[in-house]
Amino acid sequence: MTTIFTRLDRWRLIALLLWALPVIALLPLGGFWLWQARALSWWLLAMVVCSAAGYGLQYLLLRRDRRLLVEAATGPDPHWPVRADLAWTAVAQYAEAVKPEDWPLNEGGRLWTLGQQTLEIVARYYHPKVDRPLLELTVPHTLLIIERASRDLRATVTQQIPFSHRLTIGDLTRVWQWKASAERLLNVYRAGRLLFNPADALLSEAWGHLRGQAYGAAWTETHRWLLREYVRKVGYYAIALYSGRLTLTEGEFVEPMPETPTPPLNEPLQILILGRANAGKSSLINALFGRLTAVTDVLPETTPGLTAYPLEREGLTAALIFDAPGCDSGVLSEKALLKVAVKADLILWVCAAHRADRQPDRQRLDQLRAVFAARPDHRPPPILVAVSHIDQLRPQREWQPPYDLLNSQSGKAATIRAAVEAVAADLTVPAADAIPVCLAEGRIYNVDDVLWSAIIARQDEAYRVRFLRCLEQRKQQENWPLLREQLANAGRWLWDRRHRVSASDPTRLN
């Protein structure tokens, strides 16, 4: 109590008490009048009803605010690679485990520690073999993460927290310092009230406790949301940095993309046709184009190397389709074939339905899956299997499309369905990703409708693969210009310093 009087002007405090005394006197006098008029019980009942209604309204507002805060929370980027998704899961779990009582907002050092721990969680996923992975982060990149996270958090707090643009750090500090003194004064008032009117005091204490819980819960929810959002923002930009989405070049940050991204200029989607020799790869390209494009022949393997064709069709803005040699032809080595496959955004694997020896197809696909699994910084391209030569299935002479494979009414439809299911099982792909097609001249079937629809349906997923591929290329291209700029600036600084030294003391250069 003495600290309050030493900080305030006593005469000003007396003037304030004199001004408030008539208002304060209304409380006991009003209660005495209600007692005399025998209306005190009705007043108590009205207070209970109003307090209950206020508490219920506060509870509904708390639920609404909680829902709004959840909607305003930062989420992952759908275009991140697999490793980034794993890192984000760890960041989200850490954010959910943060407790407000462990991280007070008035202690800046504690908040810095919280951000540092978030950075370490992300860094450990990208440097799992390093004891202190956070030390692998450069100083400019660390400052860039702090800059981006602070910018977004400032905008979010301004939009979501009422009166946040009016409260200063000094206001919050003074409120925190006066909290203990205000609680002591309030306890004195409660004790005096209990002596004069015990029933009213006890009832007011009960409802005041409920109201305090409601407002305290609202503040706790806001505090917890701020801490979680802080962790999510720091983790988001740390992952964006490691994933290549955040660069040091001024103005090069790429904002989160929509669920259906538009392809960047001059960067078509890369579709790769793979399969064994004579499976129908070139015939599939001709069917997709609707005209003769690739060379076909009855000889084993007619494609001497990787051949690209620009593909433009409705529903696909721009794409390059690559016709690769058969995986069992020996034209391309296994290493070269895998190198080509990892650069593809969508893979169409052609497998002949009338050939039972599918072990080579399975081995190649397993090799591709192993290569994709070893690259957690990228997304594996979607794989569709075109089951070709379905017209040669038994009975061979019967060919009367279309066929309803779900409700097989003919022997041919039942055979096609069994063949598709067998191919899907042998190649370990989902049955929905295995599409039966006929590529024979004059018998083109199931390409323009079912297969093309499947390609369009996986276009967004292929765009995400292409997006990460472009980011990797941009990141590699950024390193050399940035290094040249740093060396040029360092050279100019040394040159200017040499001239300043020579001007101040010419003897030092001799």
This prediction has a pTM of 0.60
Of 100-104, 140-144, 257-261, 325-329, where does mean pLDDT reach its minimum? Answer: 257-261
DSSP assignment of 149-178 equals: HHHHHHHHHHHHSTTTTT--HHHHHHHHHH
CA pair distance 1, 184, nearest whole angstrom: 8
- For 234-263, letters b (16+ CB in 10 Å) and e give bbbbbbbbbbbbbbeeeeeebeeeeeeeeb
Is residue 288 within 8 A of residue 348, CB to CB? The reply is no
Q: What is the three-class DSSP state of 196? A: helix
The one-letter amino acid at 342: V
Residue 307: the pLDDT is 79
Residue 383: the pLDDT is 96
Of 393-397, 412-416, 435-439, 469-473, where does mean pLDDT reach its minimum? Answer: 469-473
Residue 83: the pLDDT is 84
The one-letter amino acid at 496: D
CA pair distance 263, 257, nearest whole angstrom: 11
Is beta strand 307-313 parallel, antiparallel or unpaired with respect to 316-323?
antiparallel
Name the residue with higher pLDDT: 316 or 321.
321
Helix (H) or strand (E) holding 304: none
Per-residue pLDDT of 129-170, as tens digits, reads: 888 887 877 777 788 887 788 777 777 666 655 555 555 555
Reported confidence tier of residue 9, pLDDT bands at 50, 70, 90:
low
Average pLDDT for 232-253? 74
Residue 417: the pLDDT is 92
Task: At 23, give phi and psi (nearest 5°).
Answer: -70, -40
Per-residue pLDDT of 362-419, as tens digits, reads: 999 999 999 998 888 788 999 999 999 999 998 888 888 888 888 777 889 999 999 9
